[in-house]
A and B are shown apart, each in its own frame.
Chain A
Amino acid sequence: MPHLNPDHAPPRRIVVFGGVYNNHLSLAATLAEAERRGADEIYCLGDMGGFGPRPDKVFPLLQRAGVRCMQGNYDHSIGNRLEDCACGYTDPRDNHFARISYDYTLARTSDANKDWLRALPTGFRHTWNGRQVVMAHGSTRRTNEFLWASTSPDHFLEHLLRDAEADLLLVTHTGIPWSRTLPSGRTVINVGAIGRPANDGNLNVWAVEIDLTTPSDIRHRFLPISYDHAALADEMRDEQLPEEFVATILTGWWTTCLEILPAKERALGRF
């Protein structure tokens, strides 16, 4: 496990990820990568459940590694035992699959883990290397706002970061990683998700490393994470999760809940 420093000393290397979606195998691989890189703090921006098999498996991994976890919209729903994930799909096929993974995750998450999810904070803020670093699940103003590259204009992001007094903003919630340095020099990073591939035909998932070793500068790097996707697929089939979900793990293409993708992101996928 990574060597976590005491709270007072500023960290030097940080790994940030989100969108675990019950994928305990990619989570273990991400934590191993963080350790290999000497990360002294690890952050998870939320959405532990949905999609993958055996929800309870991710919690001991997160807790043992001392990951600083945030509550995503899915965690809020599961933690509060809500009836559905409130994803608000209008496409009946998307609704059908969202319902399957939500009901599965809700039924198989222990009460203790639900309580843990319910108690998670909804954001983080730090001053690192003299800069304001803010972490949120969807956006700083709403947990379930999607920050896609193709629907987040520069002027809008400037506005968002100015309001949040952020020089660097890290988010997840969409599942597709991107980053942009704005005209003002402020930076937005969507860390993507470690729970499923990024709809680009590759099987790896993505996390982000924040490098604070250069004083007064913050650098970041996207980390491709490979893991035993075949084993995950087997486990999903054992759990009788839909073959459509398994296909995503085995091909790198999203097959369900595509409605949320804006035109540009949708055109890059296969379905």
Chain B
Amino acid sequence: MHTHQPAPPTLSFPYLETLWLQVTGTLCNLTCKHCFITCGPNNASHPIMTSEQVTQAVDEAVGFGVREFYFTGGEPFLHPEIEELIAYVLERGPLSILTNGLLIDATRADRLAKLAAASPYSLDLRVSLDGFTADQNDPIRGRGTFEKIIGAVTRCAAAGIPPILTITEVVPATEATLPAFQQLLSNAGITRPRLKFLPPVRLGREARRDRGYQDEERLVDGDLLPDEVFSLACGTGRMVTAKGVYPCPILIEAKDARMSDRLADALTPIQLRHQACYSCHAEGLRCRT
């Protein structure tokens, strides 16, 4: 026991705004070096959710007045019934899908555009990129991925559903790099560029690629800002996987992070006792669109 370890802060849970669904578990068609949950073709630590598991969680969240839904993984488009699930959610509210884009061919892009048009609610695709050249991106996401991602972004834009590009700050966003990103997007036919820059989370493979957390990088009682509950993913959101309910998308492989079987039992305050919580607080890590 570390008897002198100061207590971590307790975060209240004012309401459920965001439901995250790890529809394909940790199954991914890439093995990015900075992936904070070590996803890949051989990681089944969280299995694919059945469609019933997804729709049950969605229905339960609707009962609690949830506002928005997120599909994540792994790679959500590896789910065999992904388009049915997208349609199901879009009848009930707005949906964002975090994808690496690789499985979005022209036909799929068209079908997604039709699903988006048929709903009164927004469908946002978020595609990640780690640089504006293959030389920057491919060492992290895998050889040849830059071309494939840009291809997917271009197809989505052509179909009328231009994605949001999430750029993990492995390549720092500076005044100098920004115009290059803009140029890249306009070459891909994106006239309404949407960019998000995210700091790295030092877990999973990222901990080995760069560095893990230092011992003092943890939160203690009193660290939280007054309105921080509204910007942290765990403040007004919950993550559901095939294995149960977790406070956020970041901690699904963390020891003791699992909260409950059902959403109803997880809408409670939590202690921010994990070192990843330090990134959320100190570096403004944000998961939402």
Contact = CB atoms under 8 A, between A and B. Distances in A.
Interface of A: 88, 90-93, 141-142, 148-153, 155-156, 158-160, 163, 258-259, 262-267, 269, 271
A78 to B, nearest CB: 17
B114 interface: no
A90 B66 CA distance: 24
Nearest to B167: A90
23 contacts: A90-B195, A90-B197, A92-B175, A92-B195, A142-B230, A150-B120, A150-B121, A151-B68, A151-B94, A151-B121, A153-B67, A153-B92, A153-B94, A155-B92, A158-B65, A159-B65, A258-B192, A263-B116, A263-B122, A264-B122, A265-B122, A269-B192, A271-B191
- Which DSSP category, helix, strand, loop or mixed, fits chain A's interface? helix
A222 to B, nearest CB: 19
A263 B123 contact: yes
A149 B120 contact: yes
Contacts of B120: 149-150
Interface string B38-79: 000000000000000000000000101111100000000000
Contacts, number: 73
Contacts of A152: 67
Looking at A92, A93, A142, A263, the one whose CB has the most chain B CB atoms below 10 A away is A263
Of residues B64, B65, B68, B195, which shows the largest number of chain A Cβ atoms within 10 Å of its Cβ?
A: B65
Closest 9 CB pairs of A and B: A159-B65, A153-B93, A262-B122, A263-B122, A150-B122, A151-B94, A264-B122, A156-B67, A263-B124
B124 A141 contact: no
B161 interface: yes
B110 to A, nearest CB: 16
B151 to A, nearest CB: 21
B196 A90 contact: yes
A258 to B, nearest CB: 7
Given A153-B94, A159-B65, A264 B195 contact: no
Given A150-B120, A153-B93, A271 B192 contact: yes
B264 interface: no
Nearest to A149: B120
A258 B36 CA distance: 29
Contact of B178 (A92, A142, A153, A266): A92
